[in-house]
């Protein structure tokens, strides 16, 4: 994580530490300067998010406007939207890896 950058609601992150290392998730709530709640809509649902230290996350420079709008309007986001955002990121990351030949 770069110094001076802070996570925002709706931002995509990659988990660096813990049993979910290497997986992507979406920030659904910023608790303070050190901790956020993340969910992916599959293993971690919106109703049972994971509290993570931001030092254990890689912030991806993508913020889902769908997730942000849903949270602002209703205070909730569907697990389907979270899965869609994570899947869309995974598909784009996978295609760039194929282009590089990795």
3-state helix, strand, coil in the chain (%, to 5): 35, 25, 40
Query: pLDDT by residue (tens digit) across 1-29?
Result: 444 478 999 999 999 999 999 999 999 99
Please compute the mean of the pLDDT values over residues 69-90 and round it to a whole number.
Answer: 92
What is the rounded distance in angstroms from the CA atom of residue 22 to the CA atom of residue 16? Answer: 6
Q: Which pLDDT score is estimated for 3?
A: 43
């Amino acid at each position: 994580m770069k110094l001076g950058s802070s996570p925002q609601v709706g931002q995509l992150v990659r988990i660096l530490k813990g049993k979910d290392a290497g997986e992507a998730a979406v920030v659904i709530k910023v608790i303070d300067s050190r901790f956020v709640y993340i969910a992916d809509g599959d293993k971690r649902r919106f109703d049972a998010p994971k509290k993570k230290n931001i030092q254990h996350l890689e912030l991806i420079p993508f913020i889902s406007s769908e997730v942000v709008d849903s949270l602002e309007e209703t205070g909730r986001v569907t697990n389907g939207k979270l899965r869609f955002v994570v899947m869309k990121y995974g598909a784009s990351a996978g295609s760039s890896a194929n282009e590089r030949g990795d």
